[in-house]
């Protein structure tokens, strides 16, 4: 029997006793009680309690609200499994009977699935510890959405206080007909930077614009000009996304404000493209402010967020092979690099290989009702991550546990 087949067989044995109802109860509870970045106290407490009950040594408060569970089970490799816990400031519109009870906060990105999968896998591996040897480390990460969670855990001694990993695994819920497990060797997700811009104008009365320098008009020109950066300054074969996500100015209709504030987000897959776009942003913002006669130069602040996520290619093929054994060759394919971003890779110490894959979660009826003929066209017409309508199919609960269990077993002796 091949190694992937052996890992798949053992995974099925260890997860044979999984009770979908139990996983659903945990998932529904987490979905009902979402918590924003660095506020995941209830979530972390509940998950840590389950790990302790399964035999893990648990350290709470790592990186403020994160936790780490360690199960030492003899000689062998050290495997880290990671799940992120935070929700989003989104008002839920799914109408689910287990919808969020917190107004304006929702698990709209699937992190409630991630940690349900994580705990299910941790419990299954603990219950079947006689079948493997090594050390399993379970990482409950806070604040992925804000971009600071992984860095906070590392700054809090994640790499020094716990057994050094030989490998790190993670996964993400994604739109797409439920039942597929996309793997991408190499670059799988993009780098992300946030850019804050402050335009300084000269405020005054709305009836006398000639006595002012209107930062709203200047900001509007900036927003418009920025739309040409990717289309005219980035080669067609390269990828970049530049989004103006916020534009704040003024307090009243008849007052021309003294400043306008813009917040931008940049996604890139190549360091040279990143620098080119950042230079274009600085040039355009500075040039529009000069053209408007602003009394002070603009403030432009770049906040580096997520690095590129680059899977170890041989490791990814190894785990993809295990998942093909589990779910069938048709269920695993290479979707290619995405423009989405993650701080997952920061959890891996330098030189440690990692693998990150997707689990598609769109219910069959939602997928079939979506307009469009091809995969990509339909994909654009189903609720995606960060949508107030994002509602994963609960049929993915057990398979999402099995993907993590099988990855861990492929490395544990």
Question: Going along 166-268, which residue ranges are E strands?
Answer: 167-177, 186-189, 191-200, 204-205, 240-249, 255-256, 259-268
- The architecture of the domain spanning 3-188+308-409 is 3-Layer(aba) Sandwich (3.40)
pLDDT given for residue 73 in this prediction: 98
Q: Helices in 106-200 by DSSP H: which ranges?
A: 111-127, 149-155, 158-161
Joined tokens for residue 403: 């993907």
The topology under which CATH files domain 191-306 is Alpha-Beta Plaits (3.30.70)
pTM of structure: 0.93
Q: Report the chain's C-alpha Rg in angstroms.
A: 23
Question: Which residue, among 326, 255, 261, has the nearest Cα to 5 in the 3D structure?
Answer: 326
Q: Which residues are annotated as part of the binding site? A: 109, 111, 145, 172, 386
pLDDT 10s per residue in the chain (413 long)? Answer: 679 999 999 999 999 988 888 999 999 999 999 999 999 999 999 999 999 999 999 999 999 999 999 999 999 999 999 999 999 999 999 999 999 999 999 999 999 999 999 999 999 999 999 999 999 999 999 999 988 999 999 999 999 999 999 999 999 999 999 999 999 999 999 999 999 999 999 999 999 999 999 999 999 999 999 999 999 999 999 999 999 999 999 999 999 999 999 999 999 999 999 999 999 999 999 999 999 999 999 999 999 889 999 999 999 999 999 999 999 999 999 999 999 999 999 999 999 999 999 999 999 999 999 998 888 889 999 999 999 999 999 999 999 999 999 999 999 97
Q: Which residues are annotated as part of the binding site for Mn(2+)? A: 109, 111, 145, 172, 386
CB count in 10 Å sphere of residue 359? 25
Instruction: Match 């609720």 to its residue by tokens.
Output: 383
pLDDT given for residue 17 in this prediction: 84
Please state at what angle helix 3-14 crosses helix 313-327, rounded to 10 degrees: 60
pLDDT given for residue 1 in this prediction: 64
pLDDT given for residue 2 in this prediction: 76
Contacts of residue 216, Cβ cutoff 8 Å, sequence gap at least 6: 201, 249, 250, 256, 257, 260
At 358, which helix (H) or strand (E)?
A: strand 354-362
pLDDT given for residue 125 in this prediction: 98
Contact 65, 95 (CB under 8 A): no
Domain residue limits, the chain? 3-188+308-409, 191-306
């Amino acid at each position: 029997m091949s190694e992937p087949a052996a890992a798949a067989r053992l995974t099925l044995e260890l997860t044979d006793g999984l009770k979908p109802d139990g996983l659903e109860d945990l998932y529904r509870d987490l979905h009902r009680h979402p918590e924003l970045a660095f506020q995941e106290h209830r979530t972390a407490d509940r998950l840590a309690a389950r790990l302790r009950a399964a035999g893990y040594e648990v350290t709470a408060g790592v990186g403020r609200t994160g936790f780490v569970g360690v199960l030492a089970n003899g000689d062998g490799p050290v495997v880290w499994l990671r799940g992120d816990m935070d929700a989003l400031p989104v008002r839920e519109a799914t109408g689910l009977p287990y919808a969020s009870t917190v107004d304006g906060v929702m698990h709209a990105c699937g992190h409630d699935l991630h940690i349900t999968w994580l705990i299910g896998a941790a419990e299954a591996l603990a219950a079947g510890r006689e079948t493997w040897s090594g050390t399993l480390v379970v990482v409950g990460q806070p604040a992925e959405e804000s971009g600071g969670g992984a860095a906070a855990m590392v700054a809090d001694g994640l790499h020094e206080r716990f057994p050094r990993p030989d490998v790190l695994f993670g996964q993400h819920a994604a739109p797409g007909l439920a039942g597929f497990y996309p793997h991408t060797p190499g670059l799988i997700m993009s780098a992300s930077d946030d850019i804050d811009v402050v335009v300084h104008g000269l405020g005054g009365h709305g009836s006398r614009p000639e006595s002012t320098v209107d930062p709203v008009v200047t900001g509007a020109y900036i927003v418009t000009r920025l739309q040409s950066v990717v289309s005219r300054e980035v080669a067609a074969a390269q990828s970049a996304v530049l989004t103006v996500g916020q534009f704040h100015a003024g307090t009243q209709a008849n007052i021309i404000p003294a400043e306008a504030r813009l917040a931008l987000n940049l996604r890139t897959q190549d360091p040279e493209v990143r620098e080119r776009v950042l230079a274009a942003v600085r040039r355009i913002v500075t040039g529009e402010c000069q053209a408007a006669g602003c009394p002070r130069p603009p403030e432009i602040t770049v906040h580096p967020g997520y690095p590129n996520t680059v899977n170890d290619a041989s490791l990814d093929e190894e785990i993809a092979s295990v998942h093909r054994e589990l779910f069938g060759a048709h269920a695993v394919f290479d979707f290619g690099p995405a423009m989405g971003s993650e701080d997952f890779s920061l959890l891996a110490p330098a030189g440690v290989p990692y693998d990150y894959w997707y689990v598609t979660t769109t219910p069959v009826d939602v997928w079939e009702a979506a307009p469009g003929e091809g995969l990509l066209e339909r994909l654009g017409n189903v609720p995606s991550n960060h949508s107030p309508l994002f509602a994963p199919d609960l049929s993915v609960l057990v398979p999402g546990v099995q993907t993590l269990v099988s990855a861990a077993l492929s490395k544990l002796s």
